[in-house]
Structure 1
Amino acid sequence: MKGLYSALMCSFDEQGKVNEQGLREIVRHNIDVSKIDGLYVNGSTGENFLISKEQKKQIFDIVKDEAGDEVKLIAQIGALNIDEAIELAQFATSLGYDAISAVTPFYYKFEFEEIKDYYTTILEHVDNDLIIYSIPALTGVNMNLEQFGELFEHEQVIGVKFTAPDFFLLERIRHAFPDKLIYSGFDEMLLPASVLNVDGAIGSTFNVNGKRAKQIFELAQSGQIDEAREVQKVTNDLIAEILDNGLYQTIKEILIFKGVNAGLCRKPMKSLTDDGISKAKQIAEKYL
């Protein structure tokens, strides 16, 4: 399960429906062109929190059918409705996903015991491994070392997608739990995370910048820090321009420029203007 995973994008049409052919093309691009090790399906990048349960199932099904066993697959099944999370966990497991992942419950200010019960309850209903999805900036849920330790006590909890800039906590988790998987979740911080010996990373920009991401990770692992720093610098230049133009919309437009039917983002996300589309093409030509 180690390695680099694209936080998979999903192609939607003008009505907000899943564009099956486009989704299949995104999967193939990630496997055949970006050369990633796996796909993280129905995460934030897949616009998961804007779609219905049935659409989530449809996406899980299409991705597994297209990818088969070529790469590892992680299904993000987290939801505020725990019954939905359980149903999605069971569905993805039945399809043969290698692991499930669940974002910490958000919006309401849940106590840690409630968060722990959320994970325990999901795992009581599914025979699969689980990766915690920690993204405090979007969920408002900050867990400390001891709390991660309590979650890791469950034998089915095999690791964490750590999307936070707290490298002190990251180092402490790595030191305390050497046998748990730690995936870095910030593409622009891949190098420092790699230096701290994470097991891999899960990133949005890997959909288009997967090759550079693998370079950074592998160079860092081999101790070639100066070389890795140069690749991270170019990567961060790319990320800065993507963010300035609109993260998900620009990645999709770059994929379209590359011949992939990446479709549109779901509302309330806006579409790129003509200037934004032109800028996305310029970014692709400059960096990719």
Structure 2
Amino acid sequence: MKGIFTALINSFDEKGNINEQGLREIVRYNIDVSQVDGLYVNGSTGENFMLSAEEKKKVFKIVKDEAGDEVDLIAQVGALNIFEAKDLAAYVTDLGYDALSAVTPFYYKFDFEEIKDYYNSILEDVDNQMLIYSIPALTGVNMDLKQFGELFENEKITGVKFTAPDFFLLERLRHAYPEKLIFSGFDEMLLPASVYGIDGAIGSTFNVNGKRAKGILKAVHEGDLGEARKLQKESNDLITAILDNGLYQTIKELLKVKGVDAGYCRKPMKKPGDEQIESAKEIGRTLLD
């Protein structure tokens, strides 16, 4: 399980309901056009933390039904409600997802023993592998090399989605645990992360920039750093424009430029205004691959 995985956008209608047809179109675009290696479902990019447990199950089922076994599928099941996380883990395992992922528990100041128990509890009743989802900027949870090592003692924990700019820790993890999967989570840092021998990357902008991301990995693996720098610069131009215009709304508008019914974001995220939509169209004309 390696390569470029799209942190999948979810499609909602104007009332905030899951738009099944739109979600299927997003899946197909990522597989057929971007030709990504896998999909990371119900992560931050999928507006997961604004969904009910039943809505999450609906998304997991639609994506699996549409993607089948064409690409690897990772289900983000993390939740503050441990019973929900365990239920979702069992549900997606039965659906045939290739791996689980779970964000570190957030909001409350959990100590490390509580965090470790959280992961072990999710995994105790399921036969599946787990990628820790480490994103300190949003969770406030920073773990060091020793703590990652303690988590990795659970044989079902096979790796980490590493969404942090700490490249010293990234290198130490790669050196200490060469058998574990490490996926980079910052799209704008894919090139430097790749140099450290990551197994792949999981990113939101891969919904519209998957081909370049795959190109960066390929160029690094082939030792062509000039090509890798060129593709990262092009990607970062696109990422800058997307961030300046509103991350999730702009990705959805860019997919619409490609003929995909990406729908809207769910409240409290706002709908894009006319100026934002026009800016997205201009981004699509000038910066998409």
Distance 2:282 2:269 in 1: 22
Distance 2:239 2:214 in 1: 16
Q: Which residue of 2 aligns with 1:217?
A: 217
Q: Which residue of 1 aligns with 2:32?
A: 32
Q: Which residue of 2 aligns with 1:269?
A: 269
**Secondary structure, aligned partner of 1:88:** helix
Q: Which residue of 1 aligns with 2:6?
A: 6
Distance 1:221 1:139 in 2: 32
Distance 2:27 2:134 in 1: 24
**Secondary structure, aligned partner of 2:219:** helix
Q: Which residue of 2 aligns with 1:118?
A: 118
**Secondary structure, aligned partner of 1:61:** helix
Percent pairwise identity: 72
Question: Unaligned regions of 5+ residues in structure 2, if any?
Answer: none
Regions of 4+ moved over 3 Å: none
CA deviation string 1:204-247 (max 9, x = no partner)? 00000000000011101111111100110010000000000000
Root mean square deviation, CA, Å: 0.5
**Residue 240 (structure 1) aligned with residue 240 (structure 2):** yes
Distance 1:188 1:95 in 2: 33
Distance 2:231 2:208 in 1: 15
CA deviation string 1:81-131 (max 9, x = no partner)? 000000000000000000000000000010000000000111112111000
Alignment of 1:103-114 (within 5 A): 103-114=103-114
Alignment of 1:162-201 (within 5 A): 162-201=162-201
CA deviation string 1:32-74 (max 9, x = no partner)? 0111000000000000001111100000000000000000000
Distance 2:15 2:88 in 1: 24
Task: Give TM-score, length-normalised by structure 2.
Answer: 0.99
Distance 2:161 2:182 in 1: 6
**Secondary structure, aligned partner of 1:122:** helix
Alignment of 1:8-87 (within 5 A): 8-87=8-87
**Secondary structure, aligned partner of 2:159:** strand
CA deviation string 1:239-262 (max 9, x = no partner)? 000000000000000001110000
Question: Unaligned regions of 5+ residues in structure 1, if any?
Answer: none
Partner amino acid, structure 2, of 1:255: L
**Secondary structure, aligned partner of 1:160:** strand
Q: Which residue of 1 aligns with 2:158?
A: 158
How many residues end up aligned between the 2 structures?
Answer: 288
Distance 1:115 1:192 in 2: 29
Distance 2:284 2:221 in 1: 28
Task: Give TM-score, length-normalised by structure 1.
Answer: 0.99
Deviation at 1:192, TM superposition (A): 0.2
Distance 2:81 2:282 in 1: 41
Distance 2:155 2:24 in 1: 34
